[in-house]
């Protein structure tokens, strides 16, 4: 093999180029801390890093969504607590009004307190979040949903439910609309209502009502009619007698799976209507109480008033139960958020580790290669100067 | 006596020639293309003296050129491959960098875009959040545009480089043709002795040419070298050169092709696969154009899915959502060689079936054929190309303005323009359709336990979409709509009307009522924004299996792999080339130490011959003095 000087030089220069570009690449790696600066250096890792970065960004966004939802749900939770406090106060007032010892004059004062509670309840139902959105308005969050109106309050919102994406495939409601929270509260005991006929002349008072056999109650309406102060008949919607019996004070009357306690002394001809529970607005419930109290204020407290107040207390209890259910659901969502935030934090840490392991430089090995490359480069240079200096012409 | 002089003079002359040849070698040690020369020494014709023959000295028969045709051919071919890979490498790495740069790149823009949708979902009534979303959408648009324009500028660079390569090839071809003429004349004048220096020059030009374009050669008996490019198109024949021309592509005037005729009739780009020129053409068809097409495919998918989602939603003003993005329609270009003015219009019928390919539609013999423009593979299609029956294939629908002339061709580029033309179409933040178009409600007086779903829009074009519809239960098992009809109730089943779909589930009571109506005023509704944010992971491409994000990742990996493969091939070819260079150099290169040794050898021989001549002279002088002294 003949080796010529120009070949030696070409090969040296080619080698020098390769060594210097390797050195420059290692240097760039050490400067940036990245294992590769273009996807061509590790295409699979570059694609994966891109995918993982997207997943990381998504996870971060889910966490941001969860935090935003948490803020709104905390506002709702707080509003519901205050609503329940107001309802408890209202219930105490109603019990006070129903105690039998209260004077008709005091009823007026209680009525005005109840009216005040009505105002603050409407205010709470119009709670806004930090963005100025009404949280109980459904989708129509830019309009105040509740306004005081005859018979309670009008509702300008809708039944939309706003959701937040807190994880892949997991959305949670970040609020509840006004219809669901305030307007769709069952009356009576939640299954049926008992109301005294306005024309009753006796002192029959409605006591506890229960569903003894849910399977037997099909949702029909009935009337309990007193044929005599101590005898009653139960008529169904077609006026057919479905039950009858002897009345004793405080004794429960049972029919069609229902149990109704009556006390006092009803008069012959008195009747009590039994109907399936319907939905009633919380504000109607409060307004009904206010109206009842106002109608009795300054006059005699009749059994009708007592029955009406007792009915209102039932309705308030329903409202308390209902808002408590809503609040429990809110608590459940807040728990779900806490869980998801914890999961997201772990996931993000793992993703960051994965991304780092894919694209971050292994410093010890990079520094070792740098040293090796430096050694090769200086050895190549020295070898060249030694061999290039060898020439027969020197000896001629 | 005269014999002695003749021998020594011939030796001195021959050795002078040898020393001159060695000196010439030393002088040209670093001249590119120079092949080491050596003298071919033979004994002069001897004189016969009776029974003995006596040598008459030495003579130079010719100057030999150390050259291996095989090694030179190998080097030329290796240089062609290296040239191709080097220019391909330049462009694939640029494409890789353009596509793959994560910082400020498309991925980051897409991440911000989807995050912005989430933020709108978290706070749909905020104008500031909506404005930020428009900003992020503009960021995506800018990212597509700038990536596309960077790729387009690579195509412009390729055009420039093609023009320069063609000029250089033509100029080298002309020089080779001229040298051919000189070599033919020179060889004849020297009585068959080839003019080595001219051959060296010609070989060097051929070597330079082989870096630009793949060549094949043959040598005529008169010494002329014929050079062919591509699949055998002559560049140099004897003393004539056939110039190459860079001509516009008949479908796309912005791309240059190589032709052997100035009118562009004979395009040979397809057969030029080696050399710098081959690399440039390959970079365009393998890296730049596919990158533009894939980017366009992603842009089209994003635009279509974002617009479809926006269309089924409602904006802050209570109108159905307008398109968020706009992209150019697929391109259908009639060939410049078509003989009539028929045009083709292409639409995208199904983005899920869309590919990143270009297609060639040909009308011949009364029938259409559709092929993949880069591979030539036939594509199955249905339809007749009319508005009533468009040609449909790979998610495209193609309609022609009339019946084309026989042999007419159309290049269909479904996505090439999409990325560059990707624009934000919305102008105001209130136009963002964050809300669903409809809302549902159950009457408060309902006594049953049935609930109605929030509802979804199936057909946003239905004119009655936003009309209020009342669903009234006439019994627990039947319902009427707007007071008419009686439909059997199945809990949870879809109820479709006016372009929307709702489900009612649970146990309704007779008299229960539900309404479906326009969501105008539902400013706090974020259903559509949630769906838009979720489209980040929703499959759009490849039949709905690949999301926009996944397509971007796949694109990064794809072009990264291509660049990596070309880099590896280029490194390997560099090694092959060094080997080929070594083979050529070991035959033709000048080794200075060898020349020094030769020089010493010739010098000593020269000194000896000169000494012999002196001895001869002394002998002659001695003889003369003997004569004059009368000794003889």
Interchain CB contact of B93 with A (< 8 Å): yes
pLDDT in tens, B605-619: 999 999 998 998 898
Tokens (6 digits) for A80:
């519901």
Eight-state DSSP code of residue B105? S
Q: Considering only alpha carbons, which residue of chain B is nearest residue A182?
A: B444
Tokens (6 digits) for A200:
């009753």
Q: Considering only alpha carbons, which residue of chain A is nearest residue B36?
A: A4
Q: How far apart are CA B583 and CA B589, in angstroms?
A: 9
Rg (CA), chain B: 41
CB-based contact B441 A41, cutoff 8 Å: no
- Name which of A6, A42, A168 is nearest B537 (Cβ-Cβ): A168
| Overall average pLDDT of the A42-70 stretch | 91
Question: A91: closest CA among A125, A122, A119, A117?
Answer: A117
Contact A348, A67 (CB under 8 A): no
CB-based contact B556 A46, cutoff 8 Å: yes
Distances (CA, A) of A273 to A216, A226, A247, A260, A304: 18, 12, 16, 11, 13
CB-based contact B521 A143, cutoff 8 Å: yes
Q: Considering only alpha carbons, which residue of chain B is nearest residue A61?
A: B115
A 112-171 residues inside an 8 A Cβ radius of B: 131-134, 137-143, 158-165, 168, 171
Contact A81, A324 (CB under 8 A): no
CB-based contact A4 B122, cutoff 8 Å: no
Q: How far apart are CA A6 and CA A11, in angstroms?
A: 8
Which positions in chain B touch A138 (Cβ < 8 Å)? 439, 522, 524
> pLDDT at residue B1 above 80?
no
What does DSSP say about strands B331-334 and B435-436: parallel, antiparallel, or unpaired? unpaired
| Overall average pLDDT of the B136-162 stretch | 93
B46 pLDDT band, cuts 50/70/90, is: confident
- Name which of A1, A139, A278 is nearest B522 (Cβ-Cβ): A139
Interchain CB contact of A281 with B (< 8 Å): yes
For A161, the 3-state DSSP assignment is coil
Question: B211: closest CA among B367, B362, B105, B86?
Answer: B86
**HSE-CB for A390 with a 13 A CA cutoff:** 11
Distances (CA, A) of A386 to A12, A14, A372, A383, B589: 12, 18, 21, 5, 21
Q: The tokens 């007419």 sit on which residue?
A: B408
B250-256: long-range pairs with CB below 8 Å, 24+: B250/B335, B250/B336, B250/B337, B251/B333, B251/B335, B251/B336, B251/B409, B251/B411, B252/B333, B252/B411, B253/B336, B254/B155, B254/B159, B255/B155, B255/B159, B255/B284, B256/B158, B256/B159, B256/B162, B256/B163
Tokens (6 digits) for B396:
């495209």
Eight-state DSSP code of residue A40? G
CB-based contact A2 B594, cutoff 8 Å: yes
Interface test with A, best of B122, B438, B439, B546 (most A CBs within 10 A): B122
- Name which of A7, A46, A131 is nearest B585 (Cβ-Cβ): A7
What is residue B103's predicted lDDT score, i.e. its pLDDT? Answer: 43
Interchain CB contact of B119 with A (< 8 Å): yes
pLDDT in tens, A183-216: 999 998 888 999 998 888 888 889 889 998 888 8
For B258, the 3-state DSSP assignment is strand
Interchain CB contact of B453 with A (< 8 Å): no
- In CATH terms, the superfamily for domain A34-190+279-360 is f41 fragment of flagellin, N-terminal domain (1.20.1330.10)
pLDDT in tens, A66-78: 999 999 999 999 9
Angle in degrees, CA B273, B278, B281, rounded to 5: 110
Q: What is the DSSP string of B330-390?
A: PEEEE-TT-SS---EEEEES-GGG--S--EEEEEETTEEEEEETTT--B---BS-SSSSS-
Interchain CB contact of A365 with B (< 8 Å): no
pLDDT in tens, B152-172: 999 999 999 999 999 999 999
Rg (CA), chain A: 41
Q: Considering only alpha carbons, which residue of chain B is nearest residue A38?
A: B97
Interface test with B, best of A1, A12, A43 (most B CBs within 10 A): A43
CB-based contact A46 B526, cutoff 8 Å: no
Which positions in chain A touch B99 (Cβ < 8 Å)? 39
A290 pLDDT band, cuts 50/70/90, is: very high
Percent of chain A clearing pLDDT 90 (strictly above): 57
Domain ranges of chain A: 34-190+279-360, 192-276
What value does the mean pLDDT of chain B take?
91
Tokens (6 digits) for B571:
């490194």
* Of residues B103 and B471, more confidently modeled: B471
What is residue B3's predicted lDDT score, i.e. its pLDDT? Answer: 78
Interchain CB contact of A279 with B (< 8 Å): yes
For B255, the 3-state DSSP assignment is coil
Tokens (6 digits) for B232:
């055998």
pLDDT in tens, B336-359: 888 888 999 999 999 899 999 999
**HSE-CB for A5 with a 13 A CA cutoff:** 22
Question: Highest mean pLDDT range out of A77-86, B62-71, B139-148, B363-372?
Answer: A77-86
What is residue B393's predicted lDDT score, i.e. its pLDDT? Answer: 92
């Amino acid at each position: 093999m003949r080796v010529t000087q120009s070949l030696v030089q070409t090969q040296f220069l080619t080698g020098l180029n390769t060594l210097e570009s390797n050195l420059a690449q290692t240097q760039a790696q050490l400067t940036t801390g990245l294992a590769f600066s273009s996807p061509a250096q590790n295409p699979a890792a570059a694609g994966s890093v891109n995918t993982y970065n997207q997943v990381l960004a998504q996870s971060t966004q889910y966490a941001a969504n969860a935090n935003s939802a948490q803020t709104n749900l905390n506002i709702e939770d707080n509003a519901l607590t205050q609503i329940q406090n107001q309802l408890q106060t209202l219930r105490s007032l109603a019990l006070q009004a129903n105690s039998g010892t209260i004077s008709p004059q005091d009823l007026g004062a209680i009525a005005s307190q109840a009216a005040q509670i009505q105002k603050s309840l409407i205010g709470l139902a119009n709670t806004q979040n930090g963005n100025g959105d009404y949280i109980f308005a459904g989708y129509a969050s830019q309009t105040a949903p509740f306004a005081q109106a005859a018979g309670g309050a009008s509702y300008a919102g809708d039944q939309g439910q706003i959701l937040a994406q807190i994880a892949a495939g997991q959305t949670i409601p970040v609020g509840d609309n006004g219809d669901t929270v305030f307007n769709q509260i069952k009356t009576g005991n939640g299954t049926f209502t008992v109301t005294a006929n306005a024309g009753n002349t006796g002192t029959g008072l409605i006591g506890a009502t229960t569903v003894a056999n849910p399977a037997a109650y099909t949702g029909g309406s009935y009337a309990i009619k007193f044929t005599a102060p101590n005898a009653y008949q139960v008529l169904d919607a077609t006026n057919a007698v479905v039950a009858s019996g002897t009345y004793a004070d405080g004794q429960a009357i049972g029919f069609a799976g229902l149990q109704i306690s009556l006390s006092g002394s009803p008069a012959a001809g008195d009747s009590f209507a039994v109907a399936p529970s319907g939905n009633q607005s919380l504000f109607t419930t409060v307004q009904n109480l206010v109206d009842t109290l106002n109608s009795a204020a300054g006059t005699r407290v009749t059994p009708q008033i007592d029955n009406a107040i007792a009915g209102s207390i039932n309705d308030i209890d329903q409202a308390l139960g209902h808002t408590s259910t809503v609040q429990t659901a809110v608590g459940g969502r807040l728990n779900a958020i806490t869980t998801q935030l914890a999961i997201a934090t772990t996931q993000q840490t793992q993703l960051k580790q994965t991304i780092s392991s894919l694209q971050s430089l292994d410093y010890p090995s990079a520094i070792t290669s740098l040293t090796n490359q430096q050694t090769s480069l200086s050895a190549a240079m020295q070898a060249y100067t030694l061999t290039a200096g060898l020439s027969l012409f020197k000896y001629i | 006596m005269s014999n002695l002089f003749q021998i020594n003079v011939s030796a001195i002359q021959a050795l002078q020639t040898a020393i001159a040849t060695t000196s010439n070698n030393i002088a040209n040690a670093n001249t590119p293309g120079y092949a080491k020369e050596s003298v071919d020494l033979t004994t002069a014709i001897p004189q016969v003296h009776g029974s003995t023959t006596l040598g008459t000295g030495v003579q130079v028969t010719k100057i030999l050129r150390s050259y291996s045709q095989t090694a030179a051919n190998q080097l030329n071919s290796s240089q062609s491959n290296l040239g191709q890979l080097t220019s391909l490498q330049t462009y694939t790495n640029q494409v890789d960098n353009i596509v793959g740069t994560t910082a400020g790149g498309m991925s980051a823009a897409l991440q911000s875009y989807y995050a912005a949708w989430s933020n709108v979902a978290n706070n749909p009534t905020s104008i500031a959040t909506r404005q930020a979303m428009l900003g992020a959408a503009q960021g995506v648009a800018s990212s597509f545009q700038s990536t596309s324009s960077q790729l387009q500028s690579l195509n412009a660079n390729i055009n420039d480089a093609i023009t320069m390569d063609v000029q250089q090839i033509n100029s080298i071809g002309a020089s080779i043709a001229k040298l051919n003429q000189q070599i033919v004349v020179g060889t004849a004048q020297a009585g068959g002795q080839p003019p080595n220096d001219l051959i060296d020059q010609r070989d060097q030009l051929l070597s330079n040419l082989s870096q630009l374009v793949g060549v094949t050669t043959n040598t005529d008996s008169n010494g002329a070298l014929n050079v062919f490019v591509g699949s055998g198109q002559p560049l140099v024949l004897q003393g004539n050169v056939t110039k190459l021309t860079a001509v516009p592509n008949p479908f796309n005037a912005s791309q240059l092709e190589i032709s052997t005729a100035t009118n562009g009739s004979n395009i040979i780009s397809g057969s030029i696969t080696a050399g710098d020129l081959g690399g440039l053409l390959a970079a365009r068809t393998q890296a730049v154009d596919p990158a533009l097409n894939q980017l366009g495919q992603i842009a089209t998918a994003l635009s279509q899915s974002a617009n479809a989602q926006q269309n089924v939603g409602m904006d802050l003003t209570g109108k159905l959502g307008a398109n968020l993005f706009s992209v150019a329609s697929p391109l259908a270009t009639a060939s410049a060689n078509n003989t009539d003015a028929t045009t083709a219009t292409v639409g995208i019928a199904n983005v899920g079936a869309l590919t990143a390919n270009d297609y060639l539609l040909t009308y011949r013999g009364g029938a259409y054929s559709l092929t993949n423009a880069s591979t030539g593979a036939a594509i199955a299609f249905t339809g007749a190309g009319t508005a009533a029956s468009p040609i449909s294939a790979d998610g495209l629908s193609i309609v022609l303005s009339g019946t084309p002339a026989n042999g007419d061709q159309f290049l269909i580029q479904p996505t090439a323009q999409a990325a560059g033309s990707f624009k934000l179409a919305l102008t105001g933040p209130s136009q963002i359709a964050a809300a669903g178009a409809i809302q549902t409600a159950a009457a408060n007086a309902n006594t049953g336990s049935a609930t109605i779903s929030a509802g979804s829009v199936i057909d946003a074009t239905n004119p009655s979409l936003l009309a209020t519809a009342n669903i009234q239960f006439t019994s627990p098992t039947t319902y009427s709509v707007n007071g008419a009809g009686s439909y059997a109730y199945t809990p949870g089943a879809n109820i479709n009307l006016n372009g929307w779909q709702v489900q009612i589930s649970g146990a309704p009571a007779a008299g229960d009522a539900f309404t479906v109506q326009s969501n105008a005023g539902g400013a706090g509704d974020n259903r559509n924004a949630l769906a838009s944010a979720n489209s980040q992971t929703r499959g759009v491409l490849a039949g709905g299996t690949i999301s926009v994000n996944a397509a971007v990742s796949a694109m990064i990996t794809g072009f990264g792999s291509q660049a990596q493969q070309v880099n590896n091939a280029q490194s390997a070819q560099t090694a092959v080339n060094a080997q080929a260079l070594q083979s050529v150099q070991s035959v033709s290169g000048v080794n200075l130490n060898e020349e020094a040794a030769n020089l010493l050898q010739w010098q000593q021989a020269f000194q000896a011959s000169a000494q012999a001549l002196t001895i001869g002279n002394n002998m002659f002088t001695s003889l003369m003095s003997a004569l004059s002294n009368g000794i003889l």
